[in-house]
Structure 1
Amino acid sequence: MVKLNCTARSCVYNEGGLCSAQEILVQGINSNTSENTYCSSFRLDTVSNEFRAIGSTNFPGEVMQIFSSQDEIKLSPLVNCHARNCFYNGGGICGARDISVMGDGAREETETMCETFIK
């Protein structure tokens, strides 16, 4: 199971540093460094975005995570990836087991980045 750590605390999908989205998309088609990537699934945590996110949130995973130990990861989104230069990109899907999306203080998607990117 993939563990997706996320420091974008202002994202509607951030649940205690884990991602509650069913799937995300990392952009940066011609990236050569992690700074040139971003999570295009980032949505600022607002009331209107809470309603928009209902259909793409992993609610069963959220409930299971609440009742699991901190070592058990129940929130594990599919990570689609357009960063074709990344070592972990396998046909548009990220193959890394531990993924870190950075974006502390992010207000929009381009203020995030995939820290796991390796060329």
Structure 2
Amino acid sequence: MAKSLKQVLSQIEKLQKEADALRAKEISGVVARIREAIDHYGLTPEELFGPGVRGASGKTGATRVAAARKARVAKPARSAGTPKYHDGAGRTWTGVGKRPNWFKDALAAGKTAEELLIG
């Protein structure tokens, strides 16, 4: 039996929502890895995007970096965070910071990050 236009449009909408959710998950992982690399190497906006780059605040990267460094000193200690990944053996990871060895090992063994998500 042929599908109606309404059924096809409904299916497209459902698939688009699924695609948007998958994209959001992938983006959060990419952003976390980029932030980890930026913190690890102490990169500045000028090193990433060239000199004179201005952000949304209208300040150049050097000004923003100096302000961010001052702000870091004044920030209170952060909590450990809510776990986002688990391995089924009681080990968890928030998805922030360096990837734990158990997570890397699971990926090397063929698992995907989505399979390790809690929830």
Query: Taking structure 1 as the reference length, what is the TM-score of the superposition?
Result: 0.22
Larger Rg: 2
Point out the structure with the larger helix share.
2
Point out the structure with the larger strand share.
1
